[in-house]
Amino acid sequence: MSEPDVYIHPSATVHPEAQLDSGVWIGPGCVVGAGVTIRKSTRLLANVHVDGRTEIGSDCVFFPFSVIGTEPQDVGYRGEETLVRIGDRNKFREFLTIHRATPKGGGLTSIGSDNYIMAYSHIAHDCHVGNSCVFVNNSTLGGHCLIEDGVFLSGFTGVHQFCRVGKYAFTGGFTVVTHDVVPFAKVAGMRPILLYGMNSVGLRRRGFDAERLKGIKRMFQILFYSGLNTSQAVERIEVEVPASADRDDLLGFIKSSRRGIIKKASESWEDESA
């Protein structure tokens, strides 16, 4: 232990090689393994299990029965040393699981900062989660998923292996994501999953002004409601929509998609941005 003001409950088990910074609070029944590093003022409330090579940032809170850094659920894993890296100011609720990576997936499972991950959620091996995301209860990521900044996954959302969810996108409850969700989108359903336009409410809550919303709305109209195929829509957006960071995010995401994007749109689109 690196600092004298770390609190460890007498019923907790902390390996002497674990690195704990000042202000770390280890509650009753917790288990912390040898390869774990925990930065300042992070709290493990009770019965939290942290194992493997796991790096946790500052001011995080782990609620009871969360399990972090255990072996990936991958039949090809052979005990190689891989990593979980977690940023600052995250909240992890009860009974969630975060698994460390596999060598074939790059060796890293990562989570950014300021996320709220609710009870029973699962973040599988080799996943990468950005900043300021919300995972509602029972949200599940298969291996190798990418979740960009500001994403909101509603309860029981399941994201298939190797899928991506773009910035500030929203999924409805019980959604099954089998292709990439473009930034700023609102999707819901299963077999088929449908796009319901842009995530207007979420974007306004994130501080997007009317001009930004107008530009995103125009790109969505071209991409999803013009009858053009994806390549034609991208070319038209590049000509008709002024250059911006939002345009770069959307077009860059589409061009880099390997699984293809969710494009089947609902027949009706309530224009919440008006």
State the catalytic residues: 125-126, 143
How many Å apart are CA 268 and CA 253, to the nearest integer?
Answer: 25
**In the structure encoding, which two tokens stand for residue 268, read together?**
């009706």
Between CA 166 and CA 30, with CA 115 as vertex, the angle to 5 degrees is: 135
List Cβ neighbours of 221 (8 Å cut-off, separation of 6 or more): none
In angstroms, the Cα distances linking 18 to 46, 52, 161, 224, 267 are: 18, 10, 32, 51, 55
**In the structure encoding, which two tokens stand for residue 220, read together?**
């969505």
If you compute the radius of gyration of the chain from its CA atoms, what whole number of angstroms results? 20
